[in-house]
Amino acid sequence: MLRKTKEEEPKNQLLMSMENHKMTVMPLPKGRNSSIQAFIPACDSTGNDGDNNNITKKLSFSKHLHFDVCKCNTTWLKSTISPFPTQRGCNAVDPFATPHNKNYDQWIIQHPSALENFKEIVAASKGKSIVMFLDYDGTLSPIVDNPDRAFMDDEMRDAVREVASCFPTAIVTGRSRDKVYKFVKLEELYYAGSHGMDIQGPKKGPKFAKIKEKTVLLFQPASKFLPLIREVYKLLVERTKSTPGAKVENNKFCLSVHFRCVDPQKWSSLAEQVNAIIKEYPNLRLTRGRKVLEIRPIIRWDKGKALEFLLESLGFADLHSVFPIYIGDDQSDEDAFKVLQYRRQGASIIVSKSPKETGASYSLREPAEVMKFLHGLVESNKVTVN
């Protein structure tokens, strides 16, 4: 059962975005204009809302999301952040990561290598239009200590450029759209920043016949939260500056608090600090990624919704004619994996060297393998075309 909170319709946001940016905006896909509102998942008696997000597990929700989120986060913080390892510095062990252990052999059977099963993936895509979705951090670029320096190397950029010349390609990231564009620097891509809350079409214009008639796409379903995000950003910067190494990143429609370079002894107090701020804002929620705390508006919009929106907007709503491939490494990518799993469509690929709970069908170990996979797709497309 879903409870619903009142939220402005994305259609209006679209019009506002259009006015603000003087851009041509594609209409929303059919059936979406009135259904995208903020939903709060209700929990069962165990507190499990059916979501993989650990924050909401083992908790009960009451009438007020504000209160519930606070409880969720407090429980989560106490149970998962307190027993930190004593290792210091930027290379400290991520408390959320599952260690690479003896279960890997079993895990890889359930999520086999996308490289070793490349022929199987290509065969499944035969006769369909591939659409590529790529996360950025940890997928196209290595995870680094300073998030401002998560640069993508030229070799990877060439691989993405080539794949985008064959298939419509989107970058789907928690970063702000502007920032990820500065890293990727490719005009021919679709960019879905802020966990899909800021979607823009190619600056260069799409080359694919099916979408040629469509012009620039801009979709920002969380525009009304911008003042709130700015306010909380200032608060987070102010309150976390006493924690050396903590870095607050403004991703426009969402915020990140990176703790990769924070002394592990201080992770718990930092998380409590962040939680204390967020609990004062009922329209925001706190989740976690790889050594990062994420703050987002409560609207029901994520990377999975962004994937669906882009597929439909690109004219690929027909389930049988399209083969989406989504590659990502983090918890937020699971929303997209779930969508592909539900649609029984395409290939979902997690980037991980260690076993972790995932809805992805396949795996790749690191960005270098992602690059090999992209090269493989380009080569196989040449064979198909010729």
Chain positions contacting Mg ion, by CB under 5 A: 135, 137-138, 329-330
CA 169 to each of CA 133, 183, 290, 344: distance values in angstroms, whole numbers, following the listed order:
6, 16, 24, 20
Specify which residues 44 forms β-bridges with.
Answer: none
For residues 137 and 162, the answer to whether their CB atoms sit within 8 Å is no
CB of 338 to Mg ion, least distance (A): 16
Of the candidates 359, 295, 275, 282, the one whose C-alpha atom is nearest the C-alpha of residue 40 is: 282
Residue 130 vs 172, nearer CB to Mg ion: 172
Nearer to Mg ion, 138 or 355 (CB): 138
DSSP result, 268-298: HHHHHHHHHHHTT-TTEEEEEETTEEEEEES
Helices 334-343 + 303-313 axis angle, to 10: 50
Please, which residue, 136 or 281, has the CB nearer to Mg ion? 136
User: Residue 334 Cβ, how far from Mg ion at the closest point, in Å?
Assistant: 11
| 3-class secondary structure, 75 | helix
Our CB check for Mg ion shows the closer of 7 and 333 to be 333
Structure tokens at 4: 């619903």
Q: Which is nearer to Mg ion, 138 or 304 (CB)?
A: 138
Minimum gap (Å) between residue 382 Cβ and Mg ion: 29
Nearest partner of 329 among 362, 352, 346, judged by Cα = 352
User: Nearest CA to 203 among 184, 182, 217, 219?
Assistant: 217
Q: Please, which residue, 243 or 331, has the CB nearer to Mg ion?
A: 331
Tally: H helices and E strands in the chain: 11, 14
**Least Å from the CB of residue 74 to Mg ion:** 26
In whole angstroms, give the CA distance from residue 356 to residue 104.
Answer: 9
> Distance between CA 130 and CA 279 in Å, rounded?
42
Closer CB to Mg ion, 135 or 335, in the complex: 135
Assign 305 to helix, strand or coil. Answer: helix
Amino acid sitting at position 248? V
Residue number, 134 or 218, with CB nearest to Mg ion: 134
Let me know: does 172 contact 192? Beta carbons within 8 Å: yes
Angular region, 253: left φ>0, alpha ψ -120 to 50, beta rest:
alpha
Report the residue number, 223 or 332, with the smaller CB distance to Mg ion.
332
